[in-house]
Structure 1
Amino acid sequence: MTILQKQFFALVRSGLWGNEADATLFDASTDWAKIYQSARKQALLGIVFDGVQTLPKEKQPPRNIYLQWCNAMLHIEENNRVLNRELANVYALMRENGIEPVLMKGQGVAQNYRYPLHRHCGDIDLYIGPDNYEKANALLRKEVTSELEETYKHINVVWHGVTVENHRVLTQLSAPLADRRLQAEIKRWHGSDECRKRWIGDVEVTLAPLPFDTAFVLIHSVQHFLNEGIGLRQICDWACMLHAQRNLPEKEDIAHLLKSFGLEKAARVFGALAVCFLGLPQEDLPIAYRKKDIPTAEWLLNDIWQGGNFGHYDQERQNRPKGYWKGKWFTFTRAIGRCYELGALAPREACWYPFVLIKHSMEMQWKKRFSGNSSLHN
């Protein structure tokens, strides 16, 4: 590990857990510009900045970088406040029309951090389910300013200036047996008293049961990893969720779900990374990692370090070409390449993933051809 990486991870661990960063790692030669860019690349500017605050003043970044960081922090906090405000608005709209969304990822996961407003935010993901999906879409489209192509899982719209993903399908696994178990589990708890309630800003939202929500964070990360890559923020999400519930009795339920979904190995590798590099206490893990998982965790960390948030900073990665079929072929060939190289993380998912991509593309083309496209641009 380079000195830059040692410094960076010392600040991440400090920001996540509130302990003081190792000040002996920092001196007059510290390249703060590179540390800042690494934090930006991994979508962890807020977390690393919290770690910076624990350093002695004389070892903190120079004034120009510190002020740049402060300005970035203001933007991160304001973006979170905007997202929380619109979260309250979209819940009000849905509830007025008899729909109870389940908030997934995003602002729900942020509540597990020491400072939720310091987590880099993205969009609002709502699981509606198949029964109210079209009704919810119609409600949103009344105030939508743009809409991306609908996928088999969701629509993606800009509503009141924020991105909202409205899900018919919460998520899917590629391995058929694992996916049947996953869909059965979602159907079992959706709309039941097992769902949790939690206040975020001015609204009480509905969240999935804690064991499933925790497993879902890992599922989502594995899927993105096989397709395009993930950033360190996704590992931090996993670590913070586990740590926030460390004293709750659901740990065995989480382990059972992950094993039934065929993700035991992914859980071990993510766990090794979270413990060895992020400082998560080992006893917080639902599935303990093994010594042989550490090299895989190091390989995973190298891919994350090179690619950055969702692989967007991978210098060897080509841009998706314009045109529907060219774009689909690009996505398919990239996924095959990643599955071949990275199947060590989730072997069964890597095996089935390319076939599922083809299946979903064909289903969406069939829907567009024979059912009509209900997007904003019709």
Structure 2
Amino acid sequence: MSQAFDDTIYLFACGARGYEPVLTHDIDVVKIFNLAVSQGIWQTTFMAIKNLYKQGRLAIDEKTFVQWNNEVAVNLIHVTQKNRAVSRAMQALEQNGIQCCLLKGEILATLYYHPISRVSNDTDLLIEKKLIKKAVHILKQCGFEVIPEEKPSYHVCCNHPQAGLIELHHRLYDEIFEDVWFDKMSLNREAYRQLKTSQGNYITTLGINDGLIFVTLHLIKHFLYEGVGIRQLMDVLLYMSYYKDEIDWGRYDNLLAYLKYDKFIRNAIGIGVKYLGFAEAELPQSQYDNVIMQKILLDMENGGLYGKNEVERKEFYKVYTEERFKRFKQGSYKNYMYERMKPQVFKALFPARGRLLINYPYARNNQLLLLVAWLHRLLNFFWGLFNKEKAIKEYIGYQSPVLSNEVIKKRMDIIRELDMV
């Protein structure tokens, strides 16, 4: 971990918790800016930087500071508008008999000293599967555009100019991750609860223990997929700290031990104590290793938010999933994947209307041409197979995982050291 990243996550923690930063050395604010942006934490980090600048304890070019200040102010206005638009969409759904459970977003933002500074790109709503079509219809009436899916999914994505992306979940996770990574152990047990947000709205969300398990497994999911950022870790630590006396720690610890993710979380707690300013008494007692914590933080720094900084990570989750398969499953992993992905062949043959129009735009203005477009699709499908230009496994999105580069190899070394297989 670089000194600049250490400084970045320290200032982020100060902004997240409303603490007065104490600097013991000169910091490079430009590097901090770039790292904070790559982690999706700039708005929260800027709160601490602004505090230092206003007190004359941090030298920043005035023009640069004014630019940053104005950009953050405009961004936070957009966040407020987005939250209101999301709230209106949820009200429209609930007024039509669809209960919405908000999984993250404002629920986690309430744990931050400046809730509005926790900026997320989307909103995750959990609803009953049988109500998905009705919910999509209502959101369309509210001005949302449905994003066509190329393959079967555990959520439907809807986009809006102000509300941004809303994902309507009928499951918490992708079926393969739910089955192979979490062994179907992430199911909710508690009744939903009502929570008042920083903007005064009451929102339905998961029970306290279900909520902690969700944000923890969400953190782990991204870490195992391609990479996770420091904000997702902060979300979990703030949740633990805030609800510490209400959490069923026995249930939580037993689940993580069963899934073999307990060592990762113990070291995540250690990062909170050693680098993010949490007192040991605020979090559950934990044993952690300085060397492992450094490796996790370096992985976060190199990968950025969701691992997007390193394209070499793209296939990592496939490598991990194949190794993980042996823990809970029997038989051939390849056969398991083919069986799970069979519905995607149907999707390839009979794509959604929206997807068909994207690939064959000549059918947009004539309903009769939809049939022509579908026949065109079938011809392309079978022609690709006949000429061996494309295999079935490419249509269903399956590729045999390969330890193809050093980034993946190093990440798997960390995973094995954390005993997460």
Q: TM-score, normalised by structure 1?
A: 0.80
The one-letter code of the counterpart of 1:363 is: P
Q: Find out whether 1:41 has 2:38 as its counterpart.
A: yes
Determine the C-alpha separation between the residues in 2 that align with 1:236 and 1:35: 18
Determine the C-alpha separation between the residues in 1 that align with 2:160 and 2:3: 43
Query: What residue in structure 2 maps to residue 307 of structure 1?
Result: 303
The one-letter code of the counterpart of 1:290 is: Q
Counterpart mapping for 1:1-378 below 5 A: 2-26=2-26, 30-55=27-52, 56-142=55-141, 143-149=143-149, 151-161=152-162, 162-171=164-173, 173-176=177-180, 178-183=182-187, 186=188, 188-189=189-190, 194-200=191-197, 201=199, 203-286=201-284, 288-291=285-288, 293-314=289-310, 316-317=311-312, 333-337=315-319, 361-366=341-346, 369=349, 373=352
Determine the C-alpha separation between the residues in 2 that align with 1:41 and 1:220: 19
The one-letter code of the counterpart of 1:121 is: S
Cα deviations across residues 74-133 of structure 1 (Å, max 9, x unaligned)?
Answer: 133123212211221111111121111100112211111111101122111100122322
Change (3 A) 1:310 1:347: farther
Change (3 A) 1:174 1:306: same
Determine the C-alpha separation between the residues in 1 that align with 2:339 and 2:229: 27
Determine the C-alpha separation between the residues in 2 that align with 1:340 and 1:71: 47
C-alpha root-mean-square deviation of aligned residues, in Å?
3.3
Determine the C-alpha separation between the residues in 2 that align with 1:281 and 1:19: 13
Change (3 A) 1:136 1:225: same
Q: Is the 8 A contact 1:152 1:363 kept in 2?
A: no
Structure 1: where are the runs of 5+ without partners?
319-330
Determine the C-alpha separation between the residues in 2 that align with 1:138 and 1:376: 18
SS in 1 for 2:159: strand
Change (3 A) 1:303 1:338: farther
Cα deviations across residues 197-225 of structure 1 (Å, max 9, x unaligned)?
Answer: 01233532100011111111121121122
Query: What residue in structure 1 maps to residue 381 of structure 2?
Result: none
Cα deviations across residues 325-360 of structure 1 (Å, max 9, x unaligned)?
Answer: xxxxxx5x442356699x8xx9959x99x8787665
The one-letter code of the counterpart of 1:237 is: D
Cα deviations across residues 165-210 of structure 1 (Å, max 9, x unaligned)?
Answer: 0011122544559433323xx2x43xxxx21101233532100011
SS in 2 for 1:72: helix
The one-letter code of the counterpart of 2:166 is: V
Q: Is the 8 A contact 2:11 2:49 kept in 1?
A: yes
Query: Larger deviation: 265-274 or 230-239?
Result: 265-274
1:68 Cα deviation from its structure 2 partner: 2.5
Determine the C-alpha separation between the residues in 2 that align with 1:198 and 1:147: 30
Q: Alignment identity in percent?
A: 22
The one-letter code of the counterpart of 1:106 is: G
Change (3 A) 1:157 1:177: closer
Q: Is the 8 A contact 2:194 2:202 kept in 1?
A: yes
SS in 2 for 1:197: strand
SS in 1 for 2:129: coil
Determine the C-alpha separation between the residues in 2 that align with 1:59 and 1:137: 49
Structure showing greater radius of gyration is 2
1:282 Cα deviation from its structure 2 partner: 2.5
SS in 2 for 1:23: coil
Q: TM-score, normalised by structure 2?
A: 0.72
Change (3 A) 1:164 1:177: closer
Determine the C-alpha separation between the residues in 1 that align with 2:103 and 2:295: 28
Change (3 A) 1:17 1:202: closer
Determine the C-alpha separation between the residues in 2 that align with 1:376 and 1:83: 27
The one-letter code of the counterpart of 1:14 is: C
Determine the C-alpha separation between the residues in 2 that align with 1:334 and 1:218: 20
Q: Is the 8 A contact 1:178 1:260 kept in 2?
A: no
Change (3 A) 1:361 1:109: farther
Determine the C-alpha separation between the residues in 1 that align with 2:83 and 2:252: 28
The one-letter code of the counterpart of 1:158 is: N
The one-letter code of the counterpart of 1:168 is: H
Change (3 A) 1:123 1:260: same
The one-letter code of the counterpart of 2:20 is: E
Determine the C-alpha separation between the residues in 2 that align with 1:24 and 1:204: 42
Q: Is the 8 A contact 2:224 2:317 kept in 1?
A: yes
Determine the C-alpha separation between the residues in 2 that align with 1:228 and 1:357: 19
How many residues in Structure 1 have an aligned counterpart in Structure 2? 347
